[in-house]
Structure 1
Amino acid sequence: MRRFLALSRSAHGMLDVALPGFAALLWLGSFPAWPVLLLSLATAAAGYTAIYALNDLLGVKTDQEKFAGAGINSGYSVEASQLRYPLAQKLLSMRSALAWFGCWYVLALVGAYLLNPPLVIIVLAAAVLEVAYCQLLKVTYWRTLVSGLVKSCGPLAAVFVVQHDPSLPLLGVMLAWIVLWEIGGQNIPADWNDIEEDRRVGARTIPLAIGTRASGYLVLITLGLSVLASLWLPLMSPRPLGLAYLLPSALAGGFLLLWPAWRLHCSSDSRDAAALFDRASYYPLVQLALITVFVIVQRPG
Structure 2
Amino acid sequence: MPASATPPAGTPGHFALTVYLALSRTPHGILDLAGPFCAALLCRGGLPPLSVVVLGCVTVFAGYTAVYALNDIVDYRSDKRQVEKSGRDARCNYLDAAFIRHPLAHGCLSLPAAIAWFLCWVAVAFVGAYALNPVCAWLLVAGCLLETAYCLLLTVTHLRALINGVVKSLGPLAAAYAVSPDPAPWFLVLLFAWVFTWEIGGQNIPADWHDAVRDAVTGARTVPVVVGYRQASRLAVACLGASLAISAPLLAASPLAVAAPLWLVALLGGAWLLLPPALRLAATREDEAASALFNRASFYPALVLTVLVIELLVR
State the AA in 1 paired with 2:293. L
CA distance in 1, matches of 2:200, 2:181: 28
- TM-score with structure 2 setting the length: 0.92
CA distance in 2, matches of 1:176, 1:49: 23
1:50 corresponds to 2:66: yes
Tell me which residue corresponds to 2:202. 185
Name whichever of 243-252 and 44-53 sits farther off: 243-252
State the AA in 2 paired with 1:38. V
Unaligned runs of 5+ in 2: 1-16
Q: 1:151/1:75 Cα in 2 relative to 1: closer, same or farther (>3 Å)? A: farther
The list of structure 1 runs, each at least 4 consecutive aligned residues, that deviate by more than 4 angstroms after superposition, is none
Q: 1:117/1:240 Cα in 2 relative to 1: closer, same or farther (>3 Å)? A: closer
CA distance in 2, matches of 1:82, 1:246: 35
Name whichever of 260-269 and 65-74 sits farther off: 65-74
1:281 corresponds to 2:298: yes
1:16 corresponds to 2:43: no
Checking the alignment, whether the CA contact within 8 Å between 2:252 and 2:259 is kept in structure 1 is no
Q: 1:106/1:236 Cα in 2 relative to 1: closer, same or farther (>3 Å)? A: farther
1:118 corresponds to 2:148: no
Task: Give the root-mean-square deviation of aligned CA atoms.
Answer: 1.2
**Counterpart secondary structure, 1:67:** helix
Tell me which residue corresponds to 2:150. 133
Tell me which residue corresponds to 1:60. 76
Tell me which residue corresponds to 2:224. 207
- In the TM superposition, residue 240 of structure 1 has moved relative to its aligned partner by 3.7
Checking the alignment, whether the CA contact within 8 Å between 2:41 and 2:256 is kept in structure 1 is no
State the AA in 2 paired with 1:258. L
Tell me which residue corresponds to 2:180. 163
- In the TM superposition, residue 81 of structure 1 has moved relative to its aligned partner by 3.6
Unaligned runs of 5+ in 1: none
State the AA in 1 paired with 2:163. V
CA distance in 1, matches of 2:277, 2:184: 33
1:290 corresponds to 2:307: yes
Q: 1:277/1:129 Cα in 2 relative to 1: closer, same or farther (>3 Å)? A: same
Structure 1 counterpart of 2:258, from 241, 256, 266: 241
CA distance in 2, matches of 1:124, 1:103: 15
Tell me which residue corresponds to 1:71. 88
Aligned length: 298
- In the TM superposition, residue 284 of structure 1 has moved relative to its aligned partner by 0.5
1:146 corresponds to 2:146: no
Checking the alignment, whether the CA contact within 8 Å between 1:56 and 1:85 is kept in structure 2 is yes
Checking the alignment, whether the CA contact within 8 Å between 1:212 and 1:268 is kept in structure 2 is yes
- TM-score with structure 1 setting the length: 0.96
1:221-255 CA-to-partner distances (Å, cap 9, x unmatched) read 11111111111112443334232122111112211
State the AA in 2 paired with 1:34. L
Name whichever of 250-259 and 137-146 sits farther off: 250-259
Tell me which residue corresponds to 1:38. 54
Tell me which residue corresponds to 1:255. 272
1:108-157 CA-to-partner distances (Å, cap 9, x unmatched) read 00001111122211010010010010011111111111001110111001
CA distance in 2, matches of 1:75, 1:202: 25
Tell me which residue corresponds to 2:5. none
State the AA in 2 paired with 1:4. Y
Q: Percent identity?
A: 43
Tell me which residue corresponds to 1:7. 23
State the AA in 2 paired with 1:10. T
Name whichever of 67-76 and 95-104 sits farther off: 67-76
